[in-house]
A and B are shown apart, each in its own frame.
Chain A
Amino acid sequence: MAVFLLASAVVIGCLLMWLANPAGELGPRWAAFLLESALGAGFGIALISLLFFVLLLVHAAAVVMLPLEAALLVMSAGLLFIRRKREKRGGTRESQWSGPWWYWMLGGALAVGLCFVGAAMANSAHTIRFGTWDAWNLWNLRAKYLVGPDDTWRRAFSPLLTMHPDYPLLLSGFVAQVWKFSGGQTTTLVPMVTAMIFATSVMALLVSALALERGIGSALLAGGLLMATNSFLGLPMSQCADVPLSFYYLATLVLFLLSSADPEGNRKVGAAVLAGAFASFAAWTKNEGLVFLVLSLTCYGLVSLFRGDSRTAAARWRYALLGAAPGMLVVGYFKILLAPPNDLSGQSVAQMARKALDLGRYWIIARSLVARAFDLGNWWAHPLLLIAILTITLGFYVDQHQKDGVFVGWFSLISLFLAYCGVYVITPLDLRFHLSTSLARLYAQVWPSFLFLIFLVLAKPEVILRLSKR
């Protein structure tokens, strides 16, 4: 039953995403299908989590949740069926995967690498069934409270809990929903499979989005680089919320790009609405996501304003806000009316100003940033080294029609990273302790988005190789 509920959430998301069709007529077809499926998996999980929480608030979860899920499943399948029948889609997208020999070399290396990483994850899932300290003491513990009878679900954000009771509830809510309606058994299989779904979705989304926007060569290289980032690969099976958060960051930036890089405007509205929705899902995943929601929407609005006419910019921004609105309402209600204050709050302005003027703190943060960057992978296959090799050989080139999306992505990511650093500067916790326990996870949150944006500005290997042969 647990597996059925897990699968149904993913299927609902995929059906809705195939219906929304954010990839439009971009090709190749396998990449468009993979992109929409990856987005759908994350969308379905977030949607079910939000619905479950809202139904808990109105004391209707036990009665309404399962019928609602079934209705969503049937409705989205029906709508998709009708649409497909009407469209009788022709083969505008390329259907076969053909290309030069080095596609097969990169694809083969990626496939074998994925097998080894998958085996390592399965090994970890078997050994640390309950996840790491943060997973069972925070995310899965809160899921257990949400499963409980009567009003025990409110314990998920009780100030009596020692660890971050103010954190949003996307992951815990989804796991709790599956546990609750699969007989109340809190099996470790559910958070484990959820973590695996997010890890797979991040990889699928990165590869497919780049295949659509930059060609198969860039996509396969980016996938290989993600496989070489050991610090990121260690996180999915920890069952923490950092990989889901990295997925929602990446999904938002991909959709912003799809929305702004569409010269004919066919998918502008849908992609902008979905980008807003995914940004709000990030806010429902972790507190860092709240910062991302604000920054990414602001950057989207500003870039649209400066690079287009104000009417179009306002329209784009409205669509993104419209998509974010349902998620923002739930997150806002939770943060304002239910959650206790964040453990980083409660400092006076004078205290924060004193910390902000202490240059020693900046030095400690900078050293930690560099040290953790070295820990991203093995020194001999460090992802930054591999990026340097590609930068030297390929050089940079940004497609004109992708410039807006690239600007939005880089501005969002850089401002987010600066915000992270700003929090470290004024943190009330011991700075070294705070850095040592969180910085690696912050890198993991932004890493897939960083890879995506790097490959958007690197020249396409296909083009460079073709030029070199002429």
Chain B
Amino acid sequence: MSGFPDYVGTFRLLKTWLGRLHTFVHLRPFTGAPHGESAPNHGCCSGHGEEKNVSLMALSSSRRKFPLTGGILRRTNRSASVPCFSASKQYSPIIFQVALGVVAALSLASSINYYHTVDRRNRYNQDPVQTYMIGVEEQRFRDVIAMVPPDSVVGYITDAPARHDAHWPTNGEFLLAAVRYALAPRLVIPYEAAKKPDWVVGQFSKPVDLEQIESTNRLKLIKDLGWGVVVFRRE
């Protein structure tokens, strides 16, 4: 396939370099210590019972074959139950401690950076428009909540386009969702989809001819609450 990146080659290269890095970390080759040598209690897993018998893989031979697995502790005697680790001084403790320090420092730095990122983003999110006016709608519809019984099905009329486009909801749909949340447990559905609801709520972004809406939809205006919010009842 033309333009297809050479992932296999890249992976091989990466694996080779990781293997070399691993070889560098584990400085000295395995020299072999007798099995059955007891390891001191490291105090981290006292409840586990005993450590199993393991020995370190012979790095000098396995590293060439499996560059990424050279440091694996390999079981050699499955049946024995005496805790032991047989190993020689092949690891540099400084490198391990540095690696742990690097991981801890980067994690900490990332957490601090995360706080600053969130702080910046939240300043932007303080604009109610960024959060779909959700907090504002509850205030706007407070009088409707007092007027309309909680178990009613409420029709919804608006001048904003409420139809679903290909993928993302339109502004009209965002506003409908916000009204639906503000008025729940009342079930708010578009007027044309509702089967003769007793109550109808209008939300308008600009001045509209309410009489015409009344006559077209056979509704009776109950109250114009301002802020583009109007309550009707079905005639």
The interface of chain A, by Cβ under 8 A from chain B, is 24-28, 92-94, 98-99, 102, 105-106, 109-110, 112-114, 116-117, 119-120, 123-124, 126-130, 133, 136-137, 140-141, 144-145, 147-153, 155, 158, 160, 162, 212-217, 221, 224-225, 227-228, 230, 233-234, 263, 377-378, 380-381, 386, 388-397, 399-401, 429-430, 433, 459-470
Contacts and interface: CB of A to CB of B under 8 A. Distances in A.
Contacts of B43: 94, 98-99, 462
19 contacts: A26-B48, A109-B108, A113-B110, A119-B115, A127-B122, A128-B131, A130-B134, A130-B181, A136-B134, A136-B181, A137-B177, A151-B151, A152-B151, A217-B44, A397-B54, A401-B48, A462-B43, A462-B44, A468-B92
Given A430-B167, A468-B93, A27 B122 contact: no
A116 B114 contact: yes
Given A133-B132, A228-B110, A127 B96 contact: no
A146 to B, nearest CB: 8
Give the one of B45, B72, B125 with max A CB within 10 A: B45
Contacts of A94: 43, 46
Contacts of B75: 400
Given A129-B135, A390-B103, A395-B71, A117 B111 contact: yes
Interface in B104-138: 104-115, 117-119, 122, 125-126, 131-132, 134-135
A137 B22 CA distance: 50
Contact of A468 (B96, B103, B119): B96
A148 B42 contact: no
A435 to B, nearest CB: 12
Interface in B40-60: 40, 42-49, 51-52, 54, 56
Secondary structure at the A interface, as helix, strand, loop or mixed, is helix
A381 B109 contact: yes
Interface residues of B, number: 79
Interface string B44-86: 1111110110101000000000001111110100100000010
Contacts of A470: 87-89
B43 to A, nearest CB: 7
Contacts of B25: 392-393
A99 to B, nearest CB: 7
A109 B105 contact: yes
Contacts of B109: 380-381
Given A152-B185, A463-B85, A230 B131 contact: no
B48 A399 contact: yes
Given A120-B115, A155-B187, A160-B189, A228 B93 contact: no
